[in-house]
């Protein structure tokens, strides 16, 4: 007959396993709670100590420092540094003023003077001037084609004889849509091609499809955009197609740059890699920081900037919204309300070029030496061969200049026409960077931007190469208003 074991006998028989199980659970839990309480106490102690030191340091301001001599020295150094910043600011502004602060010659000198006065005093541009601008602005973008050394590459239009009834007068034959039918042999003239669809979009955006006068901001930023396009063509693209003696390539197949796939400015430009640390320097060429994968992805998904093949590149007139970026490459919703810097504005630029990739170093040198220096943040290289949309035509190529280029949803430059005579070393090169547009110098606004305030709010220390005066914002001084175009 089976005899039931009592609780005491069970504990005695299996005491080893019971003690092991209870100890294996309770002991680690006890040690964990003990460790957590110690860490929390140490953390609280360190935090309180830091806060006390931070409070004591913040109380030592020059105006209230007990040592009058120290206060005087600090204020003198501050004054000297402010004068240095103002001198450098003035030189940079004067160097670029004639390039971006200009208006078409068909606007009378009186009109131009009124425009500059309205900008300075933050007044609307008169209706009569905006109407005059509407009447002639359609001519301005096509005039850029005349700036291309060697000419814009276009089909050769052959006249097709089409006898009209009742006479022997030939007339050019037209295709549907009113375009001339010609070029049956695929003949082209001119040195540098420019994507026709992109030209049509820019023509519409910059006045070609306007039916009503632009408002003051649209007029200012449209002219600023046209002026910058002129500098990019004359100082970078044309010089890239010249030899060491300044002679332009005589034939299309000998050109370094064969086609402009896209020139994108402001909100249309592709996203810039976000810089993790540091701020841009006042000379426009010393921004620091690295592009991070997560940070770069955050910009790529920004709804404010869609790029050439996203939602950002459209044909609406530029109006200043999300046109400029801050020191980290993030779009600024409104430069006037919360400008990161007072000394300059940071305008993103994207150039997509079909070119000889062996000449990339020379192209980057031209960007840096341009009268409007282009600070290159990223260079992407991809193939232009293969069927549109194929893996061959969109395979990213790693370069030493930036991250590999992501596949282009439209096929990019793989959809090349017969107008481009590709060589074995030609590739699609995409350059993303910034142009620094300096505002009229004003000593009173040095260091008044939001860049320094944002860094302080985030608890971030300023970068080592950040000027002592700090990054300043584009806030006009009292009695002054938004800067003139490109100022």
Please write the tens of the pLDDT for every residue from 49-103. Answer: 888 888 887 776 655 556 777 778 877 887 888 888 888 889 988 888 888 889 9
For residues 362-384, average pLDDT: 93
Q: What is the dihedral of CA 29, 30, 33, 36, to 10 degrees?
A: -100
| Mean pLDDT on 28-56 | 84
DSSP 158: P
The answer to whether residues 306 and 364 touch, using CB atoms and an 8 Å cutoff, is no
* Bridge partners (DSSP) listed for residue 380: 430
Q: What is the pLDDT of residue 63?
A: 57
Cα gap 462→474, rounded to integer Å: 19
pTM exceeding 0.75: no
With beta carbons less than 8 A apart as the criterion, state whether 299 and 274 touch: yes
Q: Which residues contact residue 400 at a Cβ distance below 8 angstroms, ignoring those fewer than 6 apart?
A: none
Residue 355: phi, psi to the nearest 5?
Answer: -155, 170
List phi, psi (to 5°) of 317: -60, 140
The H or E element containing residue 159 is none
Question: Which secondary structure element, helix H or strand E, spans residue 222, and what is its range?
Answer: helix 216-231
% of the chain beyond a pLDDT of 70: 69
Given a contact cutoff of 8 angstroms between Cβ atoms, the answer to whether 270 and 432 are in contact is yes
Contact status, residue 446 vs residue 343, Cβ threshold 8 Å: yes
Q: How confident is the model at residue 348 (pLDDT cuts 50, 70, 90)?
A: very high
Backbone angles phi, psi at 217, to 5 degrees: -65, -45
Q: Where are the strands (E) in 383-419, listed by range?
A: 396-397
Contact between 215 and 321 under an 8 Å Cβ cutoff? The reply is no
Those residues whose C-beta lies under 8 Å from the C-beta of residue 272, and which sit 6 or more positions away, are 299, 325, 329, 348, 377, 378, 432, 433, 434
Report the 10 Å Cβ neighbour count for 204. 16
pLDDT above 90 as % of the chain: 33
Task: Identify the pLDDT of residue 212.
Answer: 92
**Between 203 and 407, the higher pLDDT residue:** 203
Residue 166 has pLDDT above 80, yes or no: no
Region 126-151: mean pLDDT is: 92
d(CA 29, CA 294): 37
Confidence grade of residue 450 (pLDDT, cut at 50, 70, 90): confident
Other C-beta atoms closer than 10 Å to the C-beta of 90 total 14
Q: Distance between CA atoms of 127 and 74, rounded to whole angstroms?
A: 51
Q: How far apart are CA 380 and CA 394, in angstroms?
A: 12
84 Cβ contact partners less than 8 Å away, ≥ 6 residues apart: none
DSSP 429: E
CA neighbor of 84 nearest in space, from 282, 341, 287, 375: 282
């Amino acid at each position: 007959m089976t005899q039931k074991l009592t609780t005491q006998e069970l504990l005695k028989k299996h005491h080893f396993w019971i003690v092991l199980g209870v100890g294996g659970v309770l002991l680690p839990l006890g040690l964990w709670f003990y460790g957590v309480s110690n860490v929390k106490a140490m953390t609280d102690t360190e935090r309180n100590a830091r806060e006390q030191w931070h409070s004591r340091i913040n109380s030592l301001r020059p105006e209230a420092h007990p040592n009058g001599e120290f206060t005087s020295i600090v204020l003198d150094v501050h004054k000297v540094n402010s004068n240095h910043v103002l001198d450098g600011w003035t030189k940079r502004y004067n160097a670029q003023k004639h390039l971006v602060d200009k208006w078409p010659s068909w606007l009378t000198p009186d009109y131009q003077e009124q425009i500059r006065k309205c900008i300075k005093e933050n007044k609307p541009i008169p209706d009569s001037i905006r109407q005059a601008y509407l009447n002639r602005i359609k001519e301005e973008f096509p005039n850029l084609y005349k700036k291309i050394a060697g000419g814009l590459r276009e089909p050769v239009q052959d006249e097709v004889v089409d006898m009209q009834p009742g006479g022997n007068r030939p007339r050019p034959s037209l295709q549907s849509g009113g375009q001339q039918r010609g070029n049956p042999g695929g003949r082209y003239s001119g040195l540098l091609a420019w994507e026709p669809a992109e030209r049509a979009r820019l023509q519409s955006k910059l006045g070609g499809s306007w039916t009503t006068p632009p408002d003051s901001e649209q007029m200012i930023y449209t002219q600023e955009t046209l002026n910058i396009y002129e500098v990019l063509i004359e100082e970078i693209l044309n010089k890239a197609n010249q030899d060491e003696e300044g002679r332009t390539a005589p034939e299309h197949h000998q050109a370094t740059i064969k086609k402009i796939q896209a020139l994108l400015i402001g909100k249309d430009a592709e996203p810039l890699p976000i810089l993790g640390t540091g701020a841009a320097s006042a000379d426009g060429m010393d921004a620091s920081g690295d592009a991070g994968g997560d940070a770069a992805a955050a910009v790529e998904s920004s709804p404010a900037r869609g790029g050439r093949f996203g939602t950002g590149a459209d044909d609406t007139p530029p109006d200043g919204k999300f046109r400029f970026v801050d020191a980290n490459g993030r779009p600024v919703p409104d430069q006037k309300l919360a400008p990161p810097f007072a000394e300059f504005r940071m305008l993103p630029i994207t150039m997509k070029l079909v070119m000889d990739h062996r000449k990339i170093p020379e192209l980057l040198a031209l960007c840096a030496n341009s009268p409007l220096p282009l600070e290159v943040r990223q260079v992407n290289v991809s193939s232009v061969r293969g069927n549109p949309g194929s893996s061959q035509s969109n395979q990213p190529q790693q370069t030493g200049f930036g991250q590999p280029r992501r596949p282009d949803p439209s096929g990019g430059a793989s959809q090349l026409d017969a107008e481009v005579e590709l060589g074995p070393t030609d590739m699609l090169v995409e350059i993303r960077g910034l142009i620094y547009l300096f505002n009229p110098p004003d000593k009173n606004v040095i260091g008044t931007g939001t860049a320094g305030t944002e860094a302080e709010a985030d608890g971030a220390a300023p970068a080592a190469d950040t000027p002592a005066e700090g990054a300043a914002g584009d806030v006009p001084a009292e009695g002054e208003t938004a800067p003139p175009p490109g100022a």
